[in-house]
Amino acid sequence: MPLEVWLPALNTGLIVVSGAFLLLGFVFVKRGNVPAHKASMLTATAFAGLFLIVYVTRYVVLGETRFTQEGFIKAVYLGLLAVHIVAAIALVPLVLVTLRRALGGNFERHKRIARITFPTWLFVAASGWVIYWMLQRM
């Protein structure tokens, strides 16, 4: 299987796994299972980190992937991509601060920022999958 086929699929798989552990972490913390929450969130972070590494590698090796559709669907794609990119850029410092507060034991401040980090991360993971689908499968 060519690199340009499996590398984007691997990248998307990594962010989907990250999103799944993000959701698991949310369920665990709502149920009061803090150790499972912590493990899930660290796993989500590790997979998101792997995603970033593979994404940059893919971009360096393969270059930019162009959206080939035209018309209204292209406008939808570009709009989604723009919001996704802005949210993804904002997500990096949000995750770092959220993790630092949790690992430092500052749980009140952790909870406050996690209320912003969680939906942003979930959006980035879900929109990343949709963007992949639009680029590779549409």
pLDDT in tens, 49-85: 999 999 898 889 888 888 999 999 999 999 999 999 9
124's tokens: 């980035």
Phi then psi dihedrals of residue 104, to 5 deg: -85, 0
pTM above 0.85? yes
What's the DSSP call for residue 105? Answer: T
Q: Could you say which residues of the chain have pLDDT below 50?
A: none
Contact 14, 52 (CB under 8 A): no
Burial 5-38 (b: 16+ CB within 10 A, else e): eebbeebbbbbbbbbebbbbbbebbeeeeeeebe
